[in-house]
Amino acid sequence: MEPVYRGLGRCVCCFWLAVAFDIVGLAVLLIGVFVNVFFYDLLIYAGAIVIFLSLIWWVFWYSGNIEVPPAELEDDVGLLKKDKGRVSGISSAVRRLSSRMSSGIRNSLRRNGGPSSTHTARAQRSSGGPPVAPQAEQVTVAMATMTLQGATPHTTPAVGCVVEMQHATTLTLPT
What tens digit of pLDDT does each residue of 107-132 get? 887 777 654 444 555 555 555 555 55
Asked if 36 and 18 touch (Cβ cutoff 8 Å), the reply is no
**pLDDT at residue 14 tops 80:** yes
- Kindly state the average pLDDT of the residues 79-108: 73
Q: How far is CA 4 from CA 9, 67, 76, in A?
A: 9, 12, 24
**pLDDT at residue 155 tops 80:** no
Q: pTM for this structure?
A: 0.43
Asked if 156 and 168 touch (Cβ cutoff 8 Å), the reply is yes
Q: How far is CA 88 from CA 76, 101, 125, in A?
A: 14, 20, 47
Per cent of the chain over pLDDT 70 is 54
Residues in a beta bridge with 93? none
- Kindly state the average pLDDT of the residues 10-28: 96
Q: Which of 18-22, 83-87, 146-150 has the highest mean pLDDT?
A: 18-22
Q: Lowest-pLDDT range, 14-23, 57-66, 107-116, 152-161?
A: 152-161
